[in-house]
Amino acid sequence: MTTQVTATENTTATTGVRDPLVIAGHGFGSRLIMGTGGAPSLHILEEALTASGTEMTTVAMRRVSTQTEGSVWDVLRRNGIRPLPNTAGCFTATEALRTARLAREALGTEWVKLEVVADERTLLPDPVELLDAAEHLVDDGFIVLPYTNDDPVLARRLEQVGCAAVMPLGSPIGSGLGIRNPHNIELIVEQAGVPVILDAGIGTASEAALAMELGCDAVLLASAVTRAHEPVLMASAMRDAVTAGRGARLAGRIPVRRYAEASSPAPE
């Protein structure tokens, strides 16, 4: 495991926040980005978001329903949390562009979490449609944060077309399988000139910490908190895990050795 820090980790604070996460010139004090899907109620979601310390949270765009009670949009505004609309449910670049433009109109933000998936069973990103959508959205003035495969080549291409961050998956959405290919995540981190946000697959706190130790700049998760037995408790655990992993990354871990190395001085 490399201990070399990336350029984005050393970004000078512009907001007064110590060690901020900076995306497209905007500083965040928290490196945990939350999703809102799967929460048992808006009340529990609000408590979990507060406990997580998150400053940015994803929402989806769907048709207005008269059956809908309460509003996640109101929850975010009440707590001063920046909305990050996603394009979940889109299978083509055309659909993603339309959803992003509707989200920009509805929420007044140019930030978008770009999701273009290949099929319902895996929800894995479709790399061809994803890159096409990213290029068009950047040209249209969006701040694009793409959910991508753990593919260093695709991550590089997304950065080259102007994405503000890259968000490789640890494993499929909602699977809780953790980070299946840490080596690829490290490769993405090593080459990236924009923040790398580990998105999807996190199941528990140690996996969020591992993402940060691998050099990711932030972690995005939802199900691990919203579907936990105690969502609020897991949210605070994730907050601590991301902070701990970030600290360990910056501190620099000791080299892995094959045999013991005494930490006490040898006897006289």
Partner 1 sequence: MDVIINGERRDLAPHTTVAAVVDSLTETTTGIAVAVNDEVVPKASWADTEVTENDRVDVLTAVQGG
Nearest one of 142, 117, 137 to 127, comparing CA atoms: 117
What is residue 23's three-state secondary structure? strand
**Contact positions with partner 1 (CB under 8 A) in 179-218:** none
Q: Which helix (H) or strand (E) holds 241?
A: helix 231-251
Nearest one of 99, 70, 98, 103 to 84, comparing CA atoms: 103
User: Regarding beta strands 143-148 and 111-114, do their DSSP bridges make them parallel or antiparallel, or are they unpaired?
Assistant: parallel
Catalytic (active site) residue 113: yes
**Contact positions with partner 1 (CB under 8 A) in 103-162:** 103, 105-107, 113, 115
The binding track of 3-42 with respect to partner 1, each residue x by CB under 8 A or -, is --------------------------------xxxxx--x
Binding-site positions = 174, 200-201, 222-223
Please say which residue, 59 or 210, places its beta carbon nearer to partner 1: 59
Measured from the Cβ of residue 149, the count of other Cβ atoms closer than 10 Å reads 18
Between CA 34 and CA 16 the distance in angstroms is: 23
Exposed (0-12), middle (13-18) or buried (19+): which is 239, by Cβ within 10 Å? buried
Please say which residue, 86 or 171, places its beta carbon nearer to partner 1: 86
Query: What is the closest distance, in whole angstroms, from the C-beta atom of residue 85 to partner 1 in the complex?
Result: 7
Please say which residue, 45 or 212, places its beta carbon nearer to partner 1: 45
Binding-site positions for 1-deoxy-D-xylulose 5-phosphate = 174, 200-201, 222-223
Catalytic residue positions, numbered: 113
Return residues touching partner 1 (CB under 8 A): 35-39, 42, 45, 58-64, 66, 68, 71-73, 83-86, 88, 98, 101-103, 105-107, 113, 115, 222
